[in-house]
């Protein structure tokens, strides 16, 4: 059984994240979406809130599980017998950061492969931070996040 982990902040989960989840879920027997804290970002939603939010978004995907992580994602993968780490790449700006993370993970656990899925063109300028700015300014979120996430964002802000 081939298991993959898709780690991220998901603060909040966007249509771009969901697309990566849907596509990765077709490639592996089981996909775990792992809610992490990113030291460089201050999250708007707590890990528990993000867990509940992501669970709602992936309810239609039977082989996708959602979990909260801490510490090293490669350690989580080893502990959960997952051989693959999924990350998404939108544009060249993501590449440098993702290269650094994937290379570090390779040095920590060489048996775990990072697989990059390219964002669909319609999602390549879509980010959680943009969704938060749009919500703050009461703009149209429909192309960025689901109706449920838009509602949660509006309530929070």
Residues with a catalytic annotation lie at 17, 41, 90, 128
Does 69 participate in binding ligand ADP (rule CB under 6 A)?
no
Q: Which of 22, 30, 67, 94 binds ligand ADP (CB under 6 A)?
A: 94
Number of H helices, E strands in the chain: 6, 5
Tell me the C-alpha to C-alpha distance, in Å, between residue 114 and each of 41, 71, 73, 88, 94: 22, 17, 11, 10, 14
Total of residues contacting ligand ADP (CB under 6 A): 20
Least distance (Å) between residue 120 CB and ligand ADP: 7
Rounded Cα gap, residues 113 and 68, in angstroms: 21
- Smallest CA-to-CA distance from 15 within 118, 123, 121 is with 123
Q: Which of 5, 16, 76, 153 binds ligand ADP (CB under 6 A)?
A: 16
Least distance (Å) between residue 68 CB and ligand ADP: 14
Does 126 participate in binding ligand ADP (rule CB under 6 A)?
yes
Q: How far apart are the first and last CA of the chain?
A: 42
Which residue number, 41 or 156, has a Cβ lying nearer to ligand ADP?
41
Does 46 participate in binding ligand ADP (rule CB under 6 A)?
no
Least distance (Å) between residue 110 CB and ligand ADP: 20
Q: Which residues of 139-150 are buried (b: 16+ CB within 10 A; e: fewer)?
A: eebeebbbeebb
Please report, as ranges, the residues that interact with ligand ADP according to CB under 6 A: 8-10, 14, 16-17, 20, 38, 41, 87-90, 94, 98, 119, 123, 126-128
């Amino acid at each position: 059984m081939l298991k993959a982990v898709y780690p991220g902040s998901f603060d909040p989960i966007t249509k771009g994240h969901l697309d990566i989840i849907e596509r990765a879920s077709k490639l592996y027997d089981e996909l775990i979406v792992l809610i992490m804290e990113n030291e460089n970002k201050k999250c708007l939603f707590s890990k528990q809130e993000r867990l509940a939010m992501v669970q709602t978004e992936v309810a239609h995907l039977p082989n996708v599980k959602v979990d909260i992580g801490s510490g090293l994602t490669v350690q989580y993968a080893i502990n959960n017998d997952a051989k693959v780490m999924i990350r998404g790449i939108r544009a060249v700006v993501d590449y440098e950061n993702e290269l650094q993370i994937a290379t570090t993970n390779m040095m920590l656990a060489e048996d775990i492969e990072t697989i990059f899925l390219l964002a669909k063109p319609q999602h390549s300028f879509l980010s959680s931070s943009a969704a938060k700015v749009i919500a703050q300014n009461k703009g149209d979120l429909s192309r960025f996040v689901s109706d449920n996430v838009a509602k949660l964002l509006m309530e929070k802000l």
